[in-house]
Amino acid sequence: MNKYENLSKPQAEFDFHNRGILNESNIKYMTDAFLHDCMRKGYTKILFITGKGLHSKKGMPVIKPFLRQYLTSLSFVGQVYEGRFDRGGTGTLEVTLR
């Protein structure tokens, strides 16, 4: 992997904040719609803003762990990694599409 690859800016971002209480089905549906739109546009690098889980019932992230697992199961997703600090750090996931 090119050590500068992760420095390129995401071409699109999806923010899960202010979307109400989400279950796994909601997260999958919104993620799939966003990913397919990004692929249609030819994007290869995207950012998901999941939040850090500070406002969840137990103060632990809920969306991010589920989303990471779901994204890594998709054949058209290349890499999934924590976002850079200046893009939200632990409250984000950066994704490369194949």
**Domain boundaries, position 16:** 7-97
Contact 38, 47 (CB under 8 A): no
Tell me, what's the pLDDT at 64? 92
Mean pLDDT over 25-34 rounds to: 97
Domain membership of residue 1 (yes or no) is no
Tell me, what's the pLDDT at 49? 94
Backbone angles phi, psi at 14, to 5 degrees: -125, 125
The total domain count for the chain is: 1
Model confidence at 13: pLDDT above 90: yes
Domain membership of residue 67 (yes or no) is yes
For 33-52, how does the pLDDT look when each residue is reduced to its tens digit (9 = 90+)?
999 999 999 999 999 999 87
Rounded to two decimals, the pTM is 0.85
Domain membership of residue 2 (yes or no) is no
